[in-house]
Structure 1
Amino acid sequence: MYEFTVPMFGPEIGHGVDLETRNEQIRFSWDVLKPNSKKACVGAMAEEVESSRLQKGEKEEEIEEVMGGEKQMSDEKKEGGSKRKNKYAVACSIIGSIISILMGYGMDYFSRWGEQGMVDLKHELQQVLMFIAGRCLLGREPHQHVVSYLPTPAHRRRDRAHRRLKELIIHAIRSRRNSSHPCARENHDVLQHLIDSRYKDERPTTDEEVAGMLLAIMFAGKHTSSAASIWTGIHLLSHPNHLCATINELDQVMARHRDANHHLDYDILQEMRTLHFCIKEALRLHPMLVALARHALTNFTVQTKEGEKYTIPGGHMLISSILVNNYLPHVYKDPLVVFDPQRFAPGREEDKVTGPFTYLTFGAIRHACPGEFFAYTQIKVIWSYLLRNFELKMVSPFPQTKWNAVAPEPKGKVIVSYRRRQLTTM
């Protein structure tokens, strides 16, 4: 049922290849997105958050050119930037999110907000997540380079975007392979890991395979992480008690590490438990996928909590509703009306009540999402920075859900007011 992804990512990966090859490629993705391999990325994520402001206009313009989108840009953004700079910025603008990119250019992405004012939080978070993605997946070089087959207008735009994105990514791949640039030796980004990956028969990955896998990771993570980050902020700003608890924890965590002259890193993020629970609760209420589909290879029997048994015939398709699963009243206390991050804290742990399939926002076991750690990390980096540096308040009413999006997101703009706090040193 997923053959529609072939023209999106190319015939070299995923459902365009045999099952054995596809499983090998999934292994590559697990290897590059697991916590141990991405700890080093936290600094890069923080670097993007603090430094992307100067190229924002050029990046948006190039995205519009490549994707055929209808982005709204101010006159100032439209005037600024040369074609050369647009090419320079494109690859990092189109790929979606990891950890090491956010901290170090010295110019804060959010500094353009000024001392106080109002912004569309939805738009701002969508932009910064694209910048994080570019650095984490492609490293530094892209900053220095720049019925699925029906001939419908939408599919033509898809095919043009696919070709253009692949050209940009393959350019970065060949540059990495053919040069002695220090990035090729030092980088811990996804690009380098995929270039270095080997199949079981020791065959190296091709340029086209690496590009296809990067596109698939980008697609899987960009919209979902963006929506998750926005919903997290909406709920925090709508619940002052949880917002206050999160800010207090952030201040305490950063104060503990200030004397050691630390920059934001993986270990510091792990101490942000209240923020982690807030993200997890936002994702329980607003899962990025409303259902999971699986194909039954053989007959098997399932039993409900009431003891009733059902036989699932082999060859049938199964649908599990994540939305329903996350709202089950015998699992979660007041699941529909209460934003309660502490339901996941030690002593309650409602996400483990019925075993490994209790909390299905990221899937589970064999089919768990390899990007779960990546998603939590980038959202923590963004919101730890925003909450430490700004006083934020919701101006818009609590939004309805836009269900016909790639990932269910807030409908319309999400306007917040802000006032800058005294900037921290971390």
Structure 2
Amino acid sequence: MANTSEYFSLTSDSWAGFIADAQSRLSASPRLLILALFNIPLVAIALNVLWQWIAPRDPSLPPVVFHWLPFVGSAPSYGNDPLKFFFECREKYGDVFTFILFGRKVTVALGPKGNNFVLGGKSVALSAEDAYTHLTTPVFGKDVVYDVPNDVFMEQKKFVKVGLSTENFRAYVGMIEQEVSDFFRRDPSFQVFQKNTTEEWGSFDVLKALSEITILTASRTLQGKEIRQSLDKHFADLYSDLDGGFTPINFLFPNLPLESYRKRDVAHAKMSQFYQDILRKRKEGGSEYEHDMMAALMNQKYRNGRPLADHEIAHIMIALLMAGQHTSSATGSWTLLHLAANPDIAEAVYQEQVEHFGSGDGHFRSMSYDELKKLPVLDSVIRETLRLHPPIHSIMRKVRDEVVVPPSLSAPAEDRSFVVPKGYYVLACPAVSQVDPRIWKNAEEWDPTRWSDPEGAAAKAYTEYNDENGEKIDYGFGLVSKGTESPYQPFGAGRHRCIGEQFAYLQLGTIIATILRHVELRLPGPFPAHNYHTMITLPKEPRIIQYRRRHRE
């Protein structure tokens, strides 16, 4: 019994010690957890750095940009200022290198030759659909743009091109002029203008104003009468929710359980139905309509004889609305900011209007499409703005089959070819070649006069972009300029070159000319920096422009 009692006594003591030790460990666990939270990332970073130093490099692959953070890679540097990042990488690695972007391996090819390598590559090897469909399909919709094989997308571009006819353009100029003038007379930002005084200065947020003007003018012309008449708060809310799904985070992480993603999907369904309802009424003969883009699409058929389905037309219309609004409002904003910062050039644009369209009493007659194309000062201002501020700085393709980067693109010290493996992305950055000091004189300076020098880099680049000395290419939507070897590519190049380029020039030219007819501009503060955290490169806040009415009406 004594032994039994001793046994139980020892057992009891052991359990008491075990419990006390467990309690001590539990009380220390928060500290251990905190230490782990600090130390595990540090260990991961250390291992990532060590691996980059000691791991044997495959000489057939492009050099990889050094990065501290595993998985994240160079995303912070690229995301905050891609041009600065690329220029710094070029100094270290040459024109071809790979960087890590949230687990993706992205091989960059810089310069005109790099642009040609990526944008002039064969679609069977370098796929735009694989690179972008997860971003564009939820916004634009199924069965259009990057949600279809490349040959089908090329057919759809051909259908859109029918609606972008010269005949339609001639009708659009007056519509755009009227929309801009009406906007000045009713928008709260232009109350000083509405006072009919030429003495007082007012102010407006240029991006906000241009965003509204762009969507008004696009809806009045390309989108059609019914869409223009429906631009109320409900439509604006739908557009805003849809636009909220077209951001860098949607590109990088397409399936997050966020409210903005849910709103995007609801807005797309409602907007798609909105367009399809209009189509149904048109087909039933219940409404009269102009020969707008929707009318053009209703009459098109694929090569196999199948007409476009209603949802395909609706989704193409959504794509045109979203893509065109972003790029034109951004370019229009940058243009007005530069004109406000350079009143002498703004005055030159105004005097060009007076010379061609002035009536001598401070009033103007309407422009025509053919006349608009023959205004060298206005044209140079828009071209130069697009050179410094292309709406899209990076253009990606996903590699379906490994591709060889020719020796002419590798670093000078490594005159050999690289291989980009299947599953990588390749990236062209025309924005780099458009401000490359090796190509352009005073590359960072906004100087529209460079476009009037027939022997300068601008004239040469523009000739190369439009293949004025070569043959046009038909990718499936009619003959177009390839332009992939030009250092100036504001509307992309190759098979994915924007077919709305001519409409964009028409829209921007008419908007800028009409605004300068109405008001003088000045910039009250420093010139805004680039905001690279958006899909389209926008001016950062504050982006306020001051204005004063030019004349009484």
Category of TM-score, reference length = shorter chain: 0.7 to 0.9
Aligned match of 1:238 in 316, 332, 341? Answer: 341
8 Å Cα contact 1:352-1:359 kept in structure 2: no
Please state whether the residue corresponding to 2:358 is helix, strand or coil.
helix
Please name the residue that 2:13 is paired with. Answer: none
Q: What is the distance in 2 between the residues matched to 1:306 and 1:404?
A: 30
Q: Deviations over 1:104-153 (max 9, x none)?
A: xxxx9995475342222222111111111211232112345574344321
Aligned match of 2:212 in 127, 148, 151? Answer: 127
Q: What is the distance in 2 between the residues matched to 1:126 and 1:241?
A: 26
Deviates more, 1:359-368 or 1:144-153: 144-153
Q: What is the distance in 1 between the residues matched to 2:187 and 2:143?
A: 33
Please state whether the residue corresponding to 1:353 is helix, strand or coil.
helix
**Matched letter for residue 222 of structure 1:** Q
Please name the residue that 2:110 is paired with. Answer: none
Shift, 1:317, TM fit: 2.7
Please state whether the residue corresponding to 1:407 is helix, strand or coil.
coil
Please name the residue that 2:550 is paired with. Answer: 421
8 Å Cα contact 1:400-1:410 kept in structure 2: yes
Aligned match of 1:27 in 158, 161, 186? Answer: 158
In the alignment, structure 1 residue 375 sits paired with structure 2 residue 482:
no
Please state whether the residue corresponding to 1:168 is helix, strand or coil.
helix
In the alignment, structure 1 residue 176 sits paired with structure 2 residue 176:
no
Q: For residues 176 and 349 of structure 1, do their structure 2 counterparts lie closer, same or farther at Cα, with a shift above 3 Å needed?
A: farther
Shift, 1:319, TM fit: 0.7
8 Å Cα contact 1:225-1:379 kept in structure 2: yes
8 Å Cα contact 1:40-1:188 kept in structure 2: no
Q: For residues 112 and 250 of structure 1, do their structure 2 counterparts lie closer, same or farther at Cα, with a shift above 3 Å needed?
A: same
Shift, 1:393, TM fit: 1.4
Q: What is the distance in 2 between the residues matched to 1:417 and 1:342?
A: 25
Please state whether the residue corresponding to 1:2 is helix, strand or coil.
helix
For CA contacts below 8 A with separation 6 or more, give which structure has more relative contact order. Answer: 2
8 Å Cα contact 2:359-2:365 kept in structure 1: no
Q: What is the distance in 1 between the residues matched to 2:294 and 2:230?
A: 15
Aligned match of 2:223 in 124, 135, 138? Answer: 138
In the alignment, structure 1 residue 330 sits paired with structure 2 residue 438:
yes
8 Å Cα contact 2:297-2:308 kept in structure 1: yes
**Matched letter for residue 331 of structure 1:** I
Aligned match of 2:458 in 334, 342, 351? Answer: 351
Q: Deviations over 1:254-292 (max 9, x none)?
A: 13899xx96322012112221111111111111111111
Please name the residue that 1:65 is paired with. Answer: none
Deviates more, 1:361-370 or 1:152-161: 361-370
Aligned match of 1:399 in 528, 531, 534? Answer: 528
8 Å Cα contact 1:325-1:358 kept in structure 2: yes
How does the TM-score come out when normalised to structure 2?
0.61
In the alignment, structure 1 residue 45 sits paired with structure 2 residue 176:
yes
Q: For residues 388 and 262 of structure 1, do their structure 2 counterparts lie closer, same or farther at Cα, with a shift above 3 Å needed?
A: closer
Q: What is the distance in 1 between the residues matched to 2:381 and 2:411?
A: 32
Shift, 1:422, TM fit: 2.2
Please state whether the residue corresponding to 1:203 is helix, strand or coil.
coil
Shift, 1:15, TM fit: 2.7
**Matched letter for residue 430 of structure 2:** I
Q: For residues 278 and 15 of structure 1, do their structure 2 counterparts lie closer, same or farther at Cα, with a shift above 3 Å needed?
A: same
**Matched letter for residue 434 of structure 2:** N
Q: For residues 161 and 250 of structure 1, do their structure 2 counterparts lie closer, same or farther at Cα, with a shift above 3 Å needed?
A: same
In the alignment, structure 1 residue 3 sits paired with structure 2 residue 106:
no
Please name the residue that 2:100 is paired with. Answer: none
Q: Deviations over 1:314-341 (max 9, x none)?
A: 63532111221111123211102x1111
Shift, 1:300, TM fit: 4.3
In the alignment, structure 1 residue 299 sits paired with structure 2 residue 408:
no
Q: What is the distance in 2 between the residues matched to 1:128 and 1:109?
A: 16
Q: What is the distance in 2 between the residues matched to 1:396 and 1:235?
A: 12
Please name the residue that 1:320 is paired with. Answer: 428
Please state whether the residue corresponding to 1:370 is helix, strand or coil.
coil
Q: What is the distance in 1 between the residues matched to 2:527 and 2:405?
A: 42
Q: What is the distance in 2 between the residues matched to 1:34 and 1:413?
A: 38
Q: For residues 155 and 194 of structure 1, do their structure 2 counterparts lie closer, same or farther at Cα, with a shift above 3 Å needed?
A: same
Q: What is the distance in 2 between the residues matched to 1:376 and 1:367?
A: 18
**Matched letter for residue 2 of structure 1:** Y
Q: Report matched runs for 1:205-244 at 5 Å.
A: 205-244=308-347
**Matched letter for residue 387 of structure 2:** R
Q: For residues 405 and 49 of structure 1, do their structure 2 counterparts lie closer, same or farther at Cα, with a shift above 3 Å needed?
A: same
Q: Deviations over 1:206-227 (max 9, x none)?
A: 1100110111112211111111
Q: What is the distance in 1 between the residues matched to 2:140 and 2:375?
A: 36
Pairwise CA RMSD = 3.0
Please name the residue that 1:166 is paired with. Answer: 272
Q: What is the distance in 1 between the residues matched to 2:224 and 2:355?
A: 32
Q: What is the distance in 2 between the residues matched to 1:199 and 1:372?
A: 24
**Matched letter for residue 139 of structure 2:** M
Shift, 1:188, TM fit: 3.2
Please name the residue that 1:155 is paired with. Answer: 261
How does the TM-score come out when normalised to structure 1?
0.78
**Matched letter for residue 427 of structure 2:** I
8 Å Cα contact 1:237-1:392 kept in structure 2: yes
Q: Deviations over 1:364-385 (max 9, x none)?
A: 2332111211222111111101
Please state whether the residue corresponding to 1:416 is helix, strand or coil.
strand
Deviates more, 1:285-294 or 1:358-367: 358-367
- Give the percent of matched residue pairs that are identical in Structure 1 and Structure 2: 28
Shift, 1:21, TM fit: 2.2
Q: What is the distance in 1 between the residues matched to 2:395 and 2:195?
A: 39
**Matched letter for residue 537 of structure 2:** P
**Matched letter for residue 179 of structure 1:** G
**Which consecutive unaligned segments of at least 5 residues does structure 2 have?**
1-130, 232-252, 466-485
Please name the residue that 1:81 is paired with. Answer: none
Shift, 1:346, TM fit: 4.9
8 Å Cα contact 2:453-2:459 kept in structure 1: no
Please name the residue that 2:384 is paired with. Answer: 281
Q: What is the distance in 2 between the residues matched to 1:14 and 1:395?
A: 42
Deviates more, 1:154-163 or 1:129-138: 129-138
Please name the residue that 2:353 is paired with. Answer: 250
Shift, 1:23, TM fit: 2.2
Largest Rg, 1 or 2: 2
Q: What is the distance in 2 between the residues matched to 1:235 and 1:156?
A: 38
Q: What is the distance in 1 between the residues matched to 2:306 and 2:419?
A: 39
